[in-house]
Every structure is written in structure tokens, then in C-alpha cells.
Structure 1
Amino acid sequence: MTALTQNRHSPCIGICKLDESTGFCLGCGRSGDEIGAWASLDEAGKDAIWQLIPERLQALSVRVRLLPYAGGELLDWVGETIREGRGTWVAGAPGAVAEFPCHDRDATVTRGEDELTAAMPKARFRLKGSEKLRAFAFDGDGPVVLGLPKRRVALPMAEVVTPLGPDEAAIDPEFRDHELFDIGVARRASRFCVRTGDAELIAALRAAEGRHWTELMAKTGATIIEKSPHRVVETGLARIEVFAEIPPPGGTSPTGPHTHLLAEFLTTGEEIPAALGLPEYAAPIAIFYPGTPPA
């Protein structure tokens, strides 16, 4: 279990309204007195309140609450979910996602000073730390969404196929000279890319520069499936790289790491599944689904 550390952050999620019958805030689960005294409490006092919040919010039928982890302890918690095989990490927007399942406990987790990486045979995962990164838990033991203030998410939004040059941010050094192409799914909080060192595919992707991704797939989809380039999904602080082969049309996604690029879901324009709405100020970084993520 991740240990709580110093400088416990506030449970406030920006929904500040006291329930008339209980006196607890419908956003953070604290009483008015606890909110007023928060800044003057020591860490033990803050932790004691944090322990009371889940039961209070459940009684109020509140679907979302903050977890008490931040900074390094949040990275430690993420590492625990992977090492202990608790579920699946997902990055991206509905219709353009990468999944990093850890049920088989076959991932190797490496904890750096300010980031965490995990490697399994056909995928890599990286999460960078930030004191502003927060974990929003839904429906008791349901999904957990990592969120960051939108002003801190600096990904450029591409609406068409865009060459990005060598993937210098690749998790494995051996792939940092491979070419990265943003497919252009027009999302502000994430981007879906392909990475390849194959000269033929690089030429085809460069020829598609400036085109909508559906045009790319109509003309070059067969080659992309045949070559199965790495898929790279990035958000403000997270990256999932998938090396598994792309199934043919009508095929079944593998049970291990895989990606989805589905036009019917991308038409919604959503950055995150509607059932997992974050406070307005937050952008999604990654989602943890205990067990198996929804299809």
C-alpha cells in the first residue's frame, strides 16, 4: 500500500456546495469547519479527514472523488497497480486509445526520480510526475482518471496527418531514430501516432501529410496493417507504445496490449468517456480500469 507523505493536498475538486442534511461538501466530502481549518491542520489531521471522505461521499451518492496521492506517491501507486496486476491503463480519447493491461504481472516497472516506466513484451508505458497531477476515483472501486490542469497540457493539436520527425521521446533508445507521425485525430488532450523505421511506410506516410486520417487509411491502410508500425499514444504526461501486430479488418484485437482507431467513436469529439467526466479545469492524462476495461 502506498504510504501517505508530507504536504497532503486538498481534496477540493472545484465543486463547492454543502449538502443541507449532512453539512458535507458535495465535491470534497469535508464539513464547512474542516474546509475552514484545512490550511492550519497538521499532516495527521489532514490524513484523518482523508480517511473519512470515501464513506461520506458514498453516502451522498457522489460518483467522483480525489484520491490522496500526489507527486511521487502517485507514481508509486501507479507502479503498484502494474506490479500487482490490478487492471489496465489506457491513454487517448474515445476511438483512439492504447491499452496497457497488466493482469498477467509480466511488466517490469522502473521508478525514476520524476517518472515511472513499465515494459512488457509488446508494449511500453511511461508516466511523468507532476505536483499538479491528481487521481479522480469513480464509483467507489471503479475507474481512476489521472487529471492535470488544462493549462499545463501543451500538446499541439493536429487535424491531419503530420510528420513529427525522429521519435526522440521513445521509451527505448533503439527507436529514437524511427519516424513518428501524428495521425491527426484532432484532440487537445491526446494524440495518436504511428512510429516506423520502414522506408516504404515512411514514404507513404510522408505522402499523406496534410490529409485526414480516414484518407490515409483508405489509401494506405493495407500497407499499415501489413507493416504494423508501433502505435504511440501520448497525453500531457503519459505515453503508451504498442508493438503488437494490427489485426486485419474484421479481426479480433489481441488480449494483450493493443490500440483502437475507430471513426464512429471519434465523431463525438470527446476527450474522455462521457461517464468519466472530470471537473472542467482538468484534462485527462490516463485512465486505470480495475479488472478489464469496457469494450
Structure 2
Amino acid sequence: MASSSNAEAVTDLLREALADPGNAWSLGSFGAIAEFMRDPDEAVMGLTDERLGMATERGAIALTARPDLRPVAYETSVASGWNHAVALCLPEGACAMSQRGVVIELGPDRDAAREQDRDAILFDLGLDLLAVDACVRTSDPEAIACLRLGVGQPLFDHANPIGRQLVAMSPHRVFLARIGRVEVYAPIPGPGGTSPEGPHTHVLPKLLRSGRTHAATTPIPAGWVPCAGLHPAHPYKDMMGQRIAFDAARYEAFQVLLDRWGDPDLLAVKRGGEHRPDSPVSSRHAQAARRVAEVQARYLRGEVVETDPEADEDEAVPDHA
């Protein structure tokens, strides 16, 4: 059971991070993820209940700081240097969602972030994920009729009409977890299209078949499952992965989060400590922490490594749902 002081610290982390438009958010699993971000001057609507979050014209995020919610700050080694994030984790025994394997109609989405969406019909896409229900939502009669034709069938079955019509329908995408939801309102890009600058979703069947809850490179402590993620501003790339001049203030800001919410054993390795044989940290993650430390030292000395940050994204896939 989390202490009251720790629960308050988690709530403060979420509230402060949500107030900063420089942060991006994700909710999902390996191969299926919804992302929320906003522009600094974008109009924001507050939520009408006790959840933490907001809605814009392009999407919404609504989170609940459960007592068992554990933030895990981490860095991973990638081609251009490193990525960083704060995974929002629940105990493995407390994270499970519906795990439906076929499309199911759920009825009106009474928990929608915006009141105007609460009569729209929600459909679970049946991706059979442990900690996330990937859904779509619509109030359009034709779209509802099409989605109902696919109920009871796997989404990716060739006989299911939903897959052929999903781009044209472009329903809201609504990803749900025990700690909250992310909603995406922007149209789904067509074949060959790219993700919009703003809230969007990624679904890739090949990654889904792995059954993983997160990438193997992500150092999540044993017994915990990441349901969502906070993605603070990165020191050398913007939200779209384009390179920017190295920003030491962004680097320092994440190190503060790493000190507070990172794995102490992994931090010790990063700072030159030995990787003990009995450590819960894997040798793979320990080696990655050392590489991150080395490349960060080079950036801090002004020795910028000119590589393509767009090649960093392990899960970068085209919009599908």
C-alpha cells in the first residue's frame, strides 16, 4: 500500500506535468498506443469531474492518481543518444482490463472527457491487451451501423467490415486503462499518410502478436506493468522527433525526475557503480545506462553526435486505429 505522502507526490507529479504544454503523454501497450499533446497557445477545456486532465479540439486526457500508481522514470539508449520518459505503472495483479478478443459494443461512453461525447457509442476493438482497452467511439448512425456489423469478430479478420471502413469513418479513438484514458479526435490518416502534429494513435498487428506490455529496452521493475507514460521535453529533439539545439535545462529537468522516480539500482550503475550479480537490474539495462551516461557526457561537453533522431522510435508505426 502506498503511503499518503507518496500518493500526494504522485498526484503533484501528474498535476504539474499536465499544466506544462511541453510534455506529451501516451496510454497503451506494445503495438497499440494513443498519444496526447497540445500546443502552448491551444485552447484547453478543463474536466467537469475529479479526474486530472483536459480536453482540446484534437483530443483529451483524463487520469486518476490511484494509491498503487507508481511512476518509473527511465532512459533508454538509442541511435542518436537516448530517449527518456516516466512510465505510469500498476502492479501486475491490479492492471488488467477487459482483454476482449473480438469487437464488442459497450454502449454510451458515460465517462467521456467532454460532456458532448457521453451519448456517443463506444466499441472495444478486441485487441486482447492486458492493461489497455483500445476502443473507438462515434455518434454517426452510418458508422455505428458499420461497427455493429463487426461485433463478435476479431478486428483483423478479413471478413470483418470494420477494418476496410475505419479510415473513412475516422471515429474517435479512446484508449482506456485503470488509471485513466486518452481520446483522439483527429482523422485517421489514409494509406501512406503520416501521423498528425497532435493527438494520434498507433496500432501495429505485428507488434501486438508479441504479447508484450512494453519494449524489451524499457527497464520496468519486475511485477509492474506500464499503462501510460509522461514524455517530458527532450534535450535534443522536439515532439515530432526533429533535432533541435541541445537544451541543458531540459536535460537537468529530467535528471530531477530520474532522481525522484528512477530505479535506484539503475541510477547507481549509470553513475559508475558496479552491476552486482544479485541486482534486480538486468545486464542489458545496466549496459544501456552506461551508454546513456557516456553520450550525455559528450552532449554536455558540446560534442554533439549528428545522427537522425527519427530512427530512435522503437514503436513508431503508422496510424491504423
Q: Could you tell me the TM-score, scaled by structure 2's length?
A: 0.65
Q: Please identify, of 198-207 and 278-287, the stretch whose mean Cα deviation from structure 2 is larger.
A: 278-287
Q: Does 1:234 align with 2:176?
A: yes
Matched, 1:90 2:26: yes
Change (3 A) 1:235 1:178: same
Instruction: Return the match for 1:280 from 222, 235, 245.
Output: 222
Aligned counterparts, 1:175-186, within 5 A? 175-186=117-128
Residue 210 (structure 1) aligns with: 152
Q: Which residue of structure 2 aligns with residue 135 of structure 1? A: 71
Counterpart in the other structure of 1:155: 97
Q: For the Cα contact (< 8 Å) 2:184–2:199, is it kept in 1?
A: yes
One-letter amino acid of the counterpart of residue 179, structure 2? L
- Please identify, of 220-229 and 239-248, the stretch whose mean Cα deviation from structure 2 is larger: 220-229
- Which residue in the other structure is 2:131 paired with? 189
Shift of the 164–112 alpha-carbon distance from structure 1 to 2, 3 Å rule, reads closer
Residues 218-244 of structure 1: per-residue CA shift (max 9 Å, x gap): 633343212210000011112000000
Instruction: Summarize the alignment of residues 41-52 of structure 1 with structure 2, pairs less than 5 Å apart.
Output: none
Match of 1:59 in 2: none
Contact 1:89/1:287 (8 A) holds in 2: yes
Deviates more, 1:98-107 or 1:110-119: 110-119
**CA distance in structure 2 between the partners assigned to 1:109 and 1:74 by the alignment:** 23
* Residue aligned with 2:143, SS: helix
Query: 1:51-130 alignment to 2 at 5 Å?
Result: 70-102=6-38, 104=40, 106=42, 108=44, 110=46, 115-130=51-66
* Identical positions, percent: 34
The residue that corresponds to 2:186 in the other structure is 244
Task: List gaps (5 residues or longer) in structure 2.
Answer: 77-82, 234-238, 242-312, 317-321
For 1:174, the equivalent position in structure 2 comes to: 116
Partner secondary structure for residue 79 of structure 1: helix
Count of residue pairs the alignment pairs up = 229
Greater relative CO (CA pairs within 8 A, separation 6+): 2
Q: Which of 166, 174, 180 is the aligned partner of 1:224? A: 166
**SS across alignment from 1:84:** coil
User: Residue 275 of structure 1: CA displacement?
Assistant: 1.9
Aligned equivalents of 2:173, 2:166: Cα separation in 1: 11
Secondary structure of the structure 2 residue equivalent to 1:151 = helix
Q: Could you say if the C-alpha distance between residues 171 and 219 of structure 1 is closer, same or farther in structure 2, counting changes exceeding 3 Å?
A: same
What code does the residue aligned with 1:95 have? G
Deviations 1:34-74 (Å, cap 9, x if unpaired)?
xxxxxxxxxxxxxxxxxxxxxxxxxxxxxxxxxxxx42432
SS at match of 1:274: coil
TM-score by length of 1: 0.70
1:111 shift after superposition: 7.8
